Amino acid sequence: LMLQVLCRYQHIWNIDLRFRPAFLGGIMQQTGNKPPAMLPKRAEYMLKDIKRMAKYYQVPVHMSGDDFQRIFATSSLAAMRFITAIDMTNQQYLEALSREFWMRFWSQHEDISQPENILAVAQQAGLSAELSQKALEMISSPTVKDRLKETTAEAIKYGAFGMPAVVAHYDGKPHLFFGSDRLELLGSVIGE
């Protein structure tokens, strides 16, 4: 939810929002973290909380208890590499592309790991067929793989241990915020 809400707030708070693709699986592995939904009581709470937050922020998330299995079973690596390829070549599409991947995965329950679905997401986000195909071909290149590893390592360097992780550069130093429920604290730190 943080992605959708930050996109909405960027103009209200007058912030320079920069998307930095990072691979959640890599962050979890490097930091020794485990998905909170693996704990039954935590998963039960998270499901209720996500529904409450979706209603509050008016973001279309449709989840049931079975969705955690779908989430764990779906690899986002191809999608993150695709976003990374776009980050390297056509940054102007990052916001629309990131939001569309989010919608497809969280709201429409689509498998974002499949090439045909990645291309459909790209088309919906406004990318041309030619640009989309080029980016899809780039996802297996060492350059894209290395860049995603670099941005993932950068997130860990700032203290990320999961997602969403937001780093606000304010008053000459970075401030890490984890979780969708930290928007008020983020706003407070940046004077909004």
pLDDT at 115: 96
pLDDT at 68: 76
Segment 11-37 mean pLDDT = 91
pLDDT at 32 > cutoff 90: yes
Mean pLDDT: which of 109-118, 146-155, 177-186 is highest? 146-155
Segment 180-192 mean pLDDT = 90
- CA distances for 6 relative to 13, 63, 136, 188, 191, angstroms: 9, 21, 27, 14, 15
pLDDT at 83: 97
CA 97 to CA 25: how far, in whole Å? 20
pLDDT at 132: 97
pLDDT in tens, 114-169: 999 999 999 999 999 999 999 999 999 999 999 999 999 999 999 999 998 999 99
pLDDT at 66 > cutoff 80: no
- The answer to whether the CB of 151 falls within 8 A of the CB of 13 is no
pLDDT at 128: 97
Task: List the one residue out of 7, 110, 129 whose CA is nearest residue 57.
Answer: 7
Residue 61 binned pLDDT confidence (cut-offs 50, 70, 90): confident
pLDDT at 160: 96
Average model confidence (pLDDT) across the chain: 92
What single string gives the DSSP state of each residue in the chain?
Answer: -HHHHHHHHHHHTT---------HHHHHHHHT---GGGSHHHHHHHHHHHHHHHHHHT------TTHHHHHHHS--HHHHHHHHHHHHH-GGGHHHHHHHHHIIIIIS---TTSHHHHHHHHHHTT--HHHHHHHHHHTTSHHHHHHHHHHHHHHHHTT--SSSEEEEEETTEEEEEESGGGHHHHHHHTT-
What are the structural domains, with CATH classification, of the chain? Answer: 1-190 (3.40.30.10)
Segment 90-109 mean pLDDT = 92
Higher pLDDT, 34 or 120: 120
pLDDT at 82: 98
pLDDT at 93: 97
